Amino acid sequence: MDITQFVELSLGRWNSQRSAHHLAFRHFEQVTSTIDIIPLAVEDSEVINLCKSYNIDPHEAAHPFRMSWEGDSDWDEAETFQGTTILVPIPNPDNLSAGRLLRDRGYAETIPSIGKYQIQEDGTFVLLTEYERAAAEERIWFVNPNFRMRVSLIKTSEGSGVVTASFSSEIRSRAN
Amino acid sequence: MDITQFVELSLGRWNSQRSAHHLAFRHFEQVTSTIDIIPLAVEDSEVINLCKSYNIDPHEAAHPFRMSWEGDSDWDEAETFQGTTILVPIPNPDNLSAGRLLRDRGYAETIPSIGKYQIQEDGTFVLLTEYERAAAEERIWFVNPNFRMRVSLIKTSEGSGVVTASFSSEIRSRAN
């Protein structure tokens, strides 16, 4: 599996059930959301601007996409939340299964981020992102084309302590 | 990583937080438990009997162990649950990273089971077990020696539909 196939499989609408384990407190958080993943053109101005903000030649971008979500958490029952982010893969020139991933809004922190991805032999997409005070590790794999799993860990920046582990089951509700 | 290292890393006591996603109903179940994993001798009579019940030569067994658990689920708040099972790896003769796993009480069904395991290059232990009316896929990996993750899927026996997906974060509370 390379980044082309991975992004193509991801496109569409997903119904997501997410459980977060806040480990220090043995607290459980439950989130249900709808996630939309739509392709963007490489010549999209937002894609080009994100590349430029990292001094990366926009011609290196492959299969950029937008991810938007809307949902409810039992953490704060009064609120629904929503958000959107642009993701731009920059594959390594010699290896489409690994590279960098630019994001205009990170997972652990709501600031732009740049992570390193690698697609393993079994098809699992692994993304490592380092922030100033934390590190995030995300694994995404497809059980079948209509069901994907996502495991995310938020670690201390030293990388040893895991603060939060979360798990999403995502069922496709609409093809791209 | 081979089965010897995997079992050695697993020995000890673990505090487990588990979330199950019952997908048809988008229901969340939360479980906290304590898990003890202790080594057994290959000449233990229960190990020998389990091998014999599958017509397997007990000399093929490697690093058998007992797993016991005790915990609470929010599915039935009045009850605590507990259980214990014996697990006996039967590595392939030519490859310690793959083989069969005998269990005197299965994960999806409380009957003896025999599954196929494979330890991937990144150290993830993957176990596939087929039951009469269901199939289970379990993935276990160590983020560090004191923190392991476990993802289990219960599928229909045809293997395509996922019925339940569950996720455990397990923190070591005591070395073996």
Of A19, A143, A162, the CB nearest to B153: A143
Residue A153 in contact with partner chain B when CB distance is under 8 A: yes
| Nearest residue to B119 (alpha-carbon basis) of B102, B137, B99, B136 | B99
Residue B26 in contact with partner chain A when CB distance is under 8 A: yes
Host H or E run for residue B51: helix B45-53
Measured CA to CA, the distance from residue A152 to residue A159 in angstroms comes to 14
Q: Looking at chain B, which residue has its C-alpha nearest residue A153?
A: B143
B contacts of A153 (beta carbons < 8 Å): 143
How many CB atoms are located within 10 Å of the residue A84 CB?
A: 12
* pLDDT higher than 60, residue B3: yes
Q: What is the mean pLDDT of residues A41-67?
A: 95
Measured CA to CA, the distance from residue B103 to residue B110 in angstroms comes to 10
Return residues 107-126 of B near A (CB < 8 Å): 120-122
Confidence of residue A55 (pLDDT cuts 50, 70, 90): very high
The residue ranking higher by pLDDT, A76 or B43, is B43
The residue ranking higher by pLDDT, A45 or B159, is A45
Model confidence over B79-129: pLDDT tens digits?
Answer: 778 899 999 999 999 888 999 999 987 555 567 789 999 999 889 999 999
Query: What value of ipTM does the predicted structure carry?
Result: 0.85
Point out the least confidently predicted range of A162-176, B22-36, B67-81. B67-81
Instruction: Tell me which CATH homologous superfamily contains domain B3-174.
Output: Calycin beta-barrel core domain (2.40.128.20)
Query: CA–CA distance from B35 to each of B5, B117, B172 (Å)?
Result: 19, 21, 9
What integer pLDDT is reported at residue B21 of this predicted model?
95
What integer pLDDT is reported at residue A67 of this predicted model?
95
CA distance B45 to chain A (A): 38
Q: What is the mean pLDDT of residues A120-129?
A: 93
* pLDDT higher than 60, residue B20: yes
CA distance A8 to chain B (A): 20
Strand B125-130, strand B162-174: pairing: unpaired
Measured CA to CA, the distance from residue A113 to residue B6 in angstroms comes to 34
* pLDDT higher than 60, residue A107: no
Of B30, B121, B149, the CB nearest to A151: B149
Measured CA to CA, the distance from residue B58 to residue B37 in angstroms comes to 21
Q: What is the mean pLDDT of residues B63-83?
A: 85
Mutate to test the interface with B, among A21, A146, A153 (most CBs of B within 10 A): A21
Confidence of residue A159 (pLDDT cuts 50, 70, 90): low
